[in-house]
A and B are shown apart, each in its own frame.
Chain A
Amino acid sequence: MFGYSMEEVGNIVVMQGFSGLSLFSVLLLMALGLAIIFGQMGVINMAHGEFMTVGAYTTVFLSKMAVEFDIVNSYFVFAIIAAFILAFFIGYFVEYALIRHLYKRPLDTLLATWGLSLVMQQIFRSTFGAKEVSAELPEWLLGSFKPTPDIDIPINGVFVMGLALIVTVGVYLFMFRSRGGLRIRATVQNRMMAGAVGINTQKVDRLTFALGCGIAGVAGAAFTTIASTGPTTGSLYIVDSFMVVVFGGAASLMGTIASAFGIAQAQSILQFFMTSSMGKVSTLMTIVIILMMRPEGLFASKVRK
């Protein structure tokens, strides 16, 4: 197969599979936020990638501070929390100033948030410069371990994956096992009725949007461990993450996880055997064709419209 022996192919698949897992984790974190905002609220947030960049720049900034104060080994946990909080509050403000006026016009939300993403990109460029920057990683994130001599698994990839798992479980618990999640789901299912039983739906909307943005911020913090951050980093992932959400079937947590996994793995394994652009093209093409045959996505629940 492609001039490799079977054993080599096996190793390549394992290693590419692992690099796919890092991509999977970032995509999953991005898509979780989007799935909450798009799946639950029906709002298209084109600036979602920029909220991820907010998280990434927060982490980079804190890592520079950490170097000053010599706490490189422990700052990362705080960076994740700070990234979440900052993105959360920016999201809260954006909902208040922009999104809430546009709930009845989803296509217009798309354009307005695209405009927002342009503005945010330029703010990043003016503040941090056009050059890509990377965070100082703590020592325990560097290096790799080798289960066999031919297989090389980077630790930061494992870390990002763990983070993605924790956040996913957290989102699941919040959405399905807490009062807050109950309110969100109630508002989604029947806004009028939810309002009638005393749920402040406006507040729920605002918190939902902010939560989605906050998770994007965590995605940004995770992203800094595997790549460097530039002003347009977020926009590179936005189409992919939308495809993840749509492909998985909006509003389905399992679907989001499965499609993030499928898309990331397909991309990174195909990219090894083809050129990187053809790997991406064939992955996206497959998704589009599947979506054309099954527009409601992989895991959508059957609902009468």
Chain B
Amino acid sequence: MTVILDKCFGGKQGAVNLAILAILLLVIFPLWLDLFRLGLIGKYVTYAFVAVSLVLLWGNGGILSLGQGMFFGLGGYCMAMFLKLEASDPISTKIQTTPGIPDFMDWNQITEIPWFWQPFKSFPLTVFFVLAVPTFLAFIIGYAMFKRRVGGVYFAIITQAIALILSILIVGQQGYTGGVNGITDLKTLLGWDIRTDSAKYVLYFINASLLIGVIILSNYVLSSKFGMLLLAMRDKEERVRFSGYDVSSFKIFIFCYAAMISAIGGAMFTLQIGFMSPSFVGIVPSIEMVIFAAVGGRMSLIGAVYGALLVNFGKTMFSENFPELWLFLMGGLFIAVVMFFPDGLAGVYRDHAKNFNLADWLIASYTKWFKKDANMLGDKV
């Protein structure tokens, strides 16, 4: 019991923090917010996947990828291609010159579905590609870079350039990708209408549960020996290498893992919001995703989720009310977090809660109120 607690939840304190996050996402938000606001939270939660991936990659591994948006986007595009093919059946597209193909292909004088769209007719293959395409791309990039010991700022610049390439490519190849508008008008998933209210609730819960699952899995990764090596590589790469470990393979693994998590977020984004566009692939979104992790705390998986929620909540608030102020605030946030709070919200929480252990407090009050033995919660009190 204790082993599982330590391995998957990051100890007692971590388990309580995760439980609070789960209650917030799965109980409080759905009860408190109307469907429109809940949809927004659902969107932020998909970004949180990327933030979590950056905590692993950047906070723990010391590898700053400025191209996480491209993995998010690729996952989203794979899902969107499946949904688009399903939405463009011959009956609902009969006014087109060529019925049965996506509308933007018809507008671009393409008369048959290109070969790389073919696998997305099948749902199992789509799920496979959602996970595999970004992971494979990450593997190629990681293999080429880490085997040659490229790291640090060079890696950041090159991932940024690749994100730029991908977004220009998607915008430029309008006939095959939907261009700057992206893939829109997605209707059903295997015949299940994803635009209804009930579908939105279901998707929100799947999304939030997946995020909790990803955090537990990532906790497991970090608490393993691999997680320890990751930290060691961040701080003294040469020493790890001289101890006989193959540093580049570890880096490739964590980069692929981070890409896969981001892709899950992207696919869930497409399902919930109902479109995917190149505006999530390029440089600006990729860097914005880094700030989610930085605000939440680059070392804290749960902090990153709060970071994603808070920054995006602020973004929505300010862009609705004071659009001019938002960029100032966003820029100021970047500077302030880096200069004054390098550990983000999680760091602030940790510093101020040093003498206040939430887990112990909860267990103590539980014992006080119910006069029961607290040992059933696992650890000694």
Residues of A within 8 A of B (CB): 38, 42, 44, 98, 101-102, 105-112, 114-122, 125-126, 239, 242-243, 246, 275, 277-278, 280-281, 284-285, 287-288, 291-293, 295
Contacts and interface: CB of A to CB of B under 8 A. Distances in A.
A56 B158 CA distance: 28
A44 B156 contact: yes
A42 B153 CA distance: 9
Interface stretch (B4-12, B79-87, B105-113, B333-341): B333-341
Given A44-B156, A114-B287, A122 B327 contact: yes
A273 to B, nearest CB: 14
A277 B172 contact: yes
Contacts of B342: 105, 108
Interface in B311-345: 324, 327-328, 330-335, 337-339, 342
Given A115-B332, A292-B148, A122 B324 contact: yes
Interface stretch (B159-167, B211-219, B224-232, B263-271): B159-167
Contacts of B330: 115, 118
A239 B331 contact: no
B144 interface: yes
B339 A112 contact: yes
Interface of B: 58, 64, 144-145, 148-150, 152-154, 156-158, 160-162, 164-165, 168-169, 171-172, 283, 287, 290-291, 294, 324, 327-328, 330-335, 337-339, 342
B153 A285 contact: no
17 contacts: A98-B335, A102-B339, A107-B156, A108-B342, A111-B287, A111-B294, A114-B334, A118-B327, A118-B330, A119-B332, A125-B324, A126-B324, A243-B161, A246-B158, A288-B158, A288-B165, A293-B144
B331 A116 contact: yes
Contacts of B171: 277
Contacts of B287: 111, 114
A288 B169 CA distance: 15
A224 B76 CA distance: 39
Contact of A281 (B152, B154, B165, B339): B165
Given A108-B338, A277-B172, A284-B164, 10 more contacts: A102-B338, A102-B339, A110-B156, A112-B334, A118-B327, A118-B330, A122-B328, A126-B324, A246-B154, A292-B148
